[in-house]
Structure 1
Amino acid sequence: MQITETSAEGLRRDFKVVLTAQDIESRVQTRLTEVGKTVKMPGFRPGKVPMPILKQRYGQSVMGEVLEAAVNDAAQQVVADNNLRPALQPKVEVESFDAGADLALKISVELLPEFEPADLSGVEIEKPVAAVSDEAVSESLGRLSKGRRTTEKVEEDRAAVSGDILLIDFDGSVDGEKRPGMKGEGHELELGSNSFIPGFEDQLVGTKAGSDVTVKVTFPTEYHAAELAGKDAVFEVKVHEIRAAKDAELNDDLAKSFGFDDLEALKTALTERIGEEYATTSRLRAKRALLDKLAELHDFEVPAGMVDIEFEQIWKRLQDELARDGAAEEDKDKDEEALKAEYRDIAVRRVRLGLLLSEIGRRNNVTVSREELNKAMIDEVRRYPGQEQQVFDFFRKNPQAVESLRAPIYEDKVVDFILGSVKVNEVTVSVEDLMRDPDEEEEGVAAA
């Protein structure tokens, strides 16, 4: 095998590899000999089939095997002989090959960049933190109380108002024709909940128990049932009762219904849970500040192939979002080329930061244990209640799926390592400021 470097530009190396016809023929003969030891053919004992017959019967398929193996061997030898650190699988092109002739290959290898991480000892970042207020705990208690609310029939003779719950029967039609799913009996409808077609609930405000009401509405153009989308409909509605909602009382009984000893224990648990939410957001904000600082301090070349892969993933997600939600407000005036340039810059940043974190982790012996992978797998399984066994089976049969959980764990461990090495200044902020999207903050500063 003859290997010649033909080009060295940036992170890309090109090689010409030639396998002689004699080498290929020798590999074919060796493989045919192996085949001949096990093949059974009428008139011949095992291992005694003449080579010409083997070549006639199996020569073409064996040649395919040999060429595939030769290409793989060539790529591996190029990497090994030149001490290369490939960023991606080497690309192999067949430049020339004919039966009985040499095989000429072009092998392109894109390398991982060599760089020195910056000294981070003097880096400072801000980490916003917020305290859990009594109001936040009260709001959580209110939501729990509302979730356990009951309804009581309104005995007084009055008209329904927004917030009331009506016990109704309804029967709808489109163009005078009854349609499936447009009829219901004994349904509880909260006025103002917007759980029915737009305009439906508004026309029941002011009605009384015992009323018969004709409600006219138009189905939204994006309605989930395509045959009803945009159609005018008429519903005949019978109001049986007006009910008022009554939230559960905030007492020990409510706490016990959630598995706590008393109301104070429930408040303590809520305070801890809210605090954990704040802490998670606070860490994400600190991580973003750290990544921004790392991006500012490093500007090494990154493999174009890795950028292409990252960009394609970003662009696909963007296209999916466009199809589902339409263009984001800040992107509406940008043409496709401008958007692609913007998101390619994002891809470059992500690849560079990924390589940087990987290198810092490697130099500091950051690893992901099997226990950490198993925990991540269990957390993933819990995301699919009722399908736990199927998800477990998927991970069991696909070890690479378990390994795909490694990258985010590794990244977080490296980020935590760096956060422990730089100066982190905690800044107390309001909950609103903590939860605000950093991109919105930047836009606000730019607008000012």
Structure 2
Amino acid sequence: MQVSVESGEGLVKRLLVNLPADKVNELVDAKLKEAARTVRMDGFRPGKVPMRVVKQRYGEQVKKDAYGELIQSSYYEAVTQENLKPVGDPSIELREDEADGGLAYTATFEVMPEIEVADLTALEIKRPVTEVVDADIDNMIEKLRQQRTEWTDVDRGAQNDDRVTLDFTGLMDGEAFEGGTASDIP
């Protein structure tokens, strides 16, 4: 397996992979033999279909399956070999290979950026200095009181800052109308 890496724009990498013809043909033949055992065809007993007929009828599909399996396994092997850290799934594009019958493809993907931690010993940190005055404390206490208000029932008329809950019925010409009634409205 021949692997080469090209850098694209930004974090994009292109992985060019060439697989030898003998590896491709070996897997295709193995897949054809596996298919021949399970193929059912009129005029032949199950598993007794001649390899020539299986290859003629199912050869292209078996070849595509073998290519998919080879691409998947060789991609992960090539990424590990080249110490690349892909971020997502690659975009695979088959390339025309020489007449030797091998498989060649280009995988395009983004990689994790390399981050270098700078020397922080020379940096100086300035701490902000703040001053809390009595007015700030009073404002915060008032906000906390408003957030944690608890309501209790009282037996007197409503006054400012009280919460009132109403039940009402709307009347039109002395009769209640649809949608004009509500209860427990704050």
TM-score (norm 2): 0.60
Question: Retained in 2: the 8 A contact 1:75–1:92?
Answer: no
Residue matched to 1:183: 180
Structure 2 residue identity aligned to 1:67: Y
Shift of 1:30: 1.0
* Match of residue 157 from structure 2: 154
* Higher Cα Rg, which structure: 2
What per-residue deviation string (whole Å, max 9, x for no partner) do you get for residues 219-264 of structure 1? Answer: xxxxxxxxxxxxxxxxxxxxxxxxxxxxxxxxxxxxxxxxxxxxxx
- Is 1:121 equivalent to 2:113 in the alignment? no
Structure-to-structure mapping, 1:198-217, within 5 angstroms = none
Structure 1: tracts of 5 or more residues without a match: 173-177, 191-448
CA RMSD of aligned residues (A): 4.3
Separation in structure 1 between the aligned mates of residue 131 and residue 56 of structure 2, nearest angstrom: 79
Q: Where does residue 77 of structure 1 map in the other structure?
A: 77
Distance in 1 separating the partners of 2:155 and 2:7: 81
Aligned-pair CA distance for 1:117: 0.7
What TM-score do you get using the length of structure 1 for normalisation?
0.30
Residues 36, 54 of structure 1: 8 Å contact kept: yes
1:75·1:90 contact (CA, 8 Å) conserved in 2?
no
Cα distance in 2 for partners of 1:56, 1:152 equals 96
Percent of aligned pairs with the same amino acid: 22
Partner SS, residue 150 of structure 1: coil
Structure with the greater relative contact order (CA < 8 A, sep ≥ 6): 1 or 2?
A: 2
Q: 1:164/1:107 Cα in 2 relative to 1: closer, same or farther (>3 Å)?
A: closer
The 5 Å alignment of 1:233-312 reads none
The alpha-carbon distance between structure 1 residues 40 and 118, as it changes in their structure 2 partners (threshold 3 A), is same
| 1: CA distance, partners of 2:138 / 2:161 | 29
Compared CA separation, residues 14 and 40, structure 1 to 2 (3 A)? closer
Range with bigger deviation, 82-91 or 61-70: 82-91
How many equivalent residue pairs?
A: 172
Which residue is 1:44 aligned to?
Answer: 45
Alpha carbons of structure 1 residues 55 and 171: separation in structure 2 relative to 1, 3 Å: farther
Runs of 4+ residues deviating >6 angstroms = 127-132
Code of the residue aligned with 2:181 in structure 1: it is: G
Report the counterpart of residue 17 of structure 2 in structure 1. 17
Q: Which amino acid aligns with 2:180?
A: K
Contact 1:95 1:106 in 2 (8 A): yes
